[in-house]
Amino acid sequence: MNWHLLASGPAPGLGTPGGVHLNSAVVTGLIVGIPSTIIAVAAYFLSVRSGRDAASASRVQIDAEAYTRAKDLYESAIAALRQQVDDLRSEVAALRGQLDRVTAQLRRRAR
């Protein structure tokens, strides 16, 4: 099929006497122009959507990293506080033992 002949003259049967004369160049122009325009518009909207997706993906990544860092930080703080509580408990137990001993001595002296 000699497709290139489409652009060389009026297409048979497409001309309307007294109306718009639709020649083969116009038909070829429509064949070339309409799909190209549709595809270009699709590419534009796909680009805009992918830009939104990229922005939301980076937000999710930043949130995930912030969560991990905050989790590490708070877990280390909680561990340090637990250690302090354990130290204070053992100190209180030692002081309670000393107090019991001093109380017992004072009671013995009082008798």
Partner 1 sequence: MPGRVLAGLRRFGHRGSVLAGYAAVCEVYGTGLALGYRPTFHAAFHLPVAVFGWAFVAAGAAVALGAPRRRDGLHYAVAVATASTWALLIGTHFASPYGWTAGVSWAGIALGLLLASAWPNAPRRVRPPPLPDLGQLLSGGEET
Chain residues that interact with partner 1, rule: CB under 8 A: 2-4, 6-7, 25, 28-29, 31-33, 35-37, 39-51, 53-54, 57-58, 61-62, 65-66, 69, 73, 76-77, 80-81
The set of residues, in sequence order, having a beta carbon less than 8 Å from that of 7 and lying 6+ positions away, is 24, 25, 28
Task: Kindly state the smallest distance separating residue 95's Cβ from partner 1, in Å.
Answer: 24
Q: Is the Cβ of residue 83 or residue 105 nearer to partner 1 in the bound state?
A: 83
Q: In a 10 Å sphere around its CB, with 0-12 CB exposed, 13-18 middle and 19+ buried, how is residue 90 labelled?
A: exposed
Q: Is the Cβ of residue 66 or residue 99 nearer to partner 1 in the bound state?
A: 66
Task: Kindly state the smallest distance separating residue 88's Cβ from partner 1, in Å.
Answer: 15
Q: Is the Cβ of residue 65 or residue 100 nearer to partner 1 in the bound state?
A: 65
What does the alpha-carbon distance between residue 5 and residue 97 come to, in Å, rounded to a whole number?
Answer: 110
Q: Contact, 14 vs 27, CB < 8 A?
A: yes
